Amino acid sequence: MRLPLPPDDDVLLIGRRPLRAVLARGVADAVRWETTVCGFTEHPDGVDVHLAGARDVRVDVLVGADGVRSRITPALTGRPAARPAGVTAIAARVPLGVPGAPPVPGDLRHGLAFGYGPRGVGVFLALHRPGPRPAPEAEPPYLVWSVAAAPERFSGDPATTNPAGLVDEARRLLRGWGRGSRRG
Amino acid sequence: MTLLGDAIHPMPPTAGAGAGTAVVDAVHLAGDLAALPPAAALRRYQRRILGYAPRAVAAAVPALTWQRRLGYPVVRALAGAVALPLAGVVVRAQASRLSTRDAKTTVLSE
Ligand SMILES: Cc1cc2nc3c(=O)[nH]c(=O)nc-3n(C[C@H](O)[C@H](O)[C@H](O)COP(=O)(O)OP(=O)(O)OC[C@H]3O[C@@H](n4cnc5c(N)ncnc54)[C@H](O)[C@@H]3O)c2cc1C
Ligand SMILES: Cc1cc2nc3c(=O)[nH]c(=O)nc-3n(C[C@H](O)[C@H](O)[C@H](O)COP(=O)(O)OP(=O)(O)OC[C@H]3O[C@@H](n4cnc5c(N)ncnc54)[C@H](O)[C@@H]3O)c2cc1C
């Protein structure tokens, strides 16, 4: 299955960690790590932001950028930011270019891969390779794999399963899959 | 007050566009805040989001729907049920809040 990409464009991938590091360039001093926003008070000319275990901060504008589990969104709209999509996934990254690294399907050099199998089990693969002139934030090459299925196909709760158990679960979900790939 | 990224348009990972759309939001918001007083900037930013975020979310939905369809004998969930963007809701909520002059404290629930 093809992702909705313009046909002639290069696909450029960046890992989450390097992306965060690049976005933090030049503003690292302004970021307060490990600080939880627990509430806010709106005034006509600004917002007091209440922090857990720290003093309030007065700002002109408060931007809730707190993700799918946003606590700001329900406070503002009365609705949760997101609902479960009905698909649960296990994802992992495998270092490449080290002893014991797996062979990588050649197609992955041209972009990401989604695969669908019986019982609604899906597979996602992405290859991360630093370009010819890697930024200082770039990570060594790795492969991301993910196995996704409806929550009831899992034998346990992935959120409380240890890494070895997650690998076993992924193997179980993929039982009967062949080694090759076919383009759809 | 306003929202940005997944907090306003939760993205299924299937189009690989969630992080990019969040960055686009941030660029627009920064530009609008630099050009206009806060209240006007937020109104313009939120109207902009309505122009692209629903399309970006819609592009990610088919792969997810297909996966679920293969998993169930009956299609029990339609694409629209996944995670419709909240952008429109926020614009309306914001419009009513901007007219409130009194200080109001909100405690965030877990
Ligand atoms: C269906 C599906 C589709 C996917 N599609 C893609 C894809 O298209 N491309 C792709 O690359 N990956 C994709 N992935 C994989 C996924 O996005 C991550 O690559 C994977 O979760 C591995 O991330 P990580 O180990 O870097 O940990 P992360 O999940 O990135 O981070 C681990 C923790 O560290 C925190 N953290 C990270 N960096 C910082 C920082 N600088 N400061 C403070 N905290 C930080 C994070 O908040 C997080 O809590 C997909 C996965 C699935 C299941
Ligand atoms: C498995 C998976 C794979 C994905 N793959 C891709 C992909 O390949 N490409 C892509 O573009 N997108 C992908 N996405 C989507 C992408 O991760 C999101 O769209 C993107 O991270 C949204 O960014 P955000 O800044 O809005 O929210 P987030 O990245 O979720 O950041 C929210 C931040 O707010 C912080 N926070 C939350 N509550 C509070 C609080 N009360 N106080 C203080 N801080 C708080 C959190 O710690 C977090 O750091 C994937 C998502 C998943 C789950």
Has the ipTM of the complex gone over 0.90?
no
Model confidence over B22-80: pLDDT tens digits? 999 999 999 999 999 998 999 899 888 888 877 777 766 666 665 555 554 333 333 33
Q: What is the pLDDT of residues A162-176, one digit of tens each?
A: 999 999 999 999 998
Domain range annotation of chain B: 1-63, 70-110
Task: Please provide the size of chain A in residues.
Answer: 184
Nearest of A139, A142, A137, A131 to residue A92 by alpha carbon:
A142
pLDDT in tens, A32-90: 999 999 999 999 889 999 999 999 999 999 999 999 889 998 888 888 888 887 888 99
Q: Do B19 and A16 touch (CB under 8 A)?
A: yes
Q: In terms of pLDDT, which residue wins out, B92 or B7?
A: B7
Are the Cβ atoms of B106 and A39 closer than 8 angstroms? yes
Q: How far is B65 from chain A (nearest CA, A)?
A: 9
> Is residue A65 within 8 Å of residue A131, measured between CB atoms?
no
B82 C-alpha to ligand 1 centroid (Å): 21
Query: Residue A181: which residues within 8 A CB-CB, separation 6 or more?
Result: A105, A107, A113, A115
Contact (CB<8Å) B19/A19? yes
Instruction: Give this prediction's pTM.
Output: 0.76
Residues B57, B11: Cα–Cα separation, whole Å: 6
Q: How far is A175 from chain B (nearest CA, A)?
A: 15
Residue pair A117/A123 in contact (Cβ under 8 Å)? The answer is: yes
The domain segmentation of chain A, as residue ranges, is 2-8+85-174, 17-77
Question: Least CA distance to B25: which residue of chain A?
Answer: A65
